Amino acid sequence: MVELPPETMGTVVNRLRRAQGQIGGVLRMIEEGRDCQDIVTQLAAVSRALDRAGFAIIAAGLKQCLVESGGEETLDSKTMEKLFLSLA
């Protein structure tokens, strides 16, 4: 299990809360029949917020994930690379 440092945890939680608010805004925009370009712009902002939260989690946990645990490596470099690429 990855344990985030408190300062990283706060940043990640804030980004996720912001994304949650943006998603609510996108839903309202759709329900109100707003312009497609405005909706897509907001969706892109949500996507960036989620990506940044994911990158922060991976960056904070990278060392911990690669450190041996009980004599076995918890995640190898290929698995970590796949995690990073899944956010790209």
Sequence ranges of the domains in the chain: 6-86
pLDDT at 74 over 70: no
Q: How far apart are CA 65 and CA 75, in angstroms?
A: 6
Instruction: Write down the pTM of the prediction.
Output: 0.69
Cα radius of gyration rounded to whole Å, the chain: 17
CATH of domain 6-86: 1.20.58.1000
Please write the tens of the pLDDT for every residue from 21-52.
999 999 999 999 999 999 999 999 999 999 88
Per residue in 49-62, pLDDT (tens digit) is 998 888 888 777 77
Question: Structure tokens of 28?
Answer: 């309202």
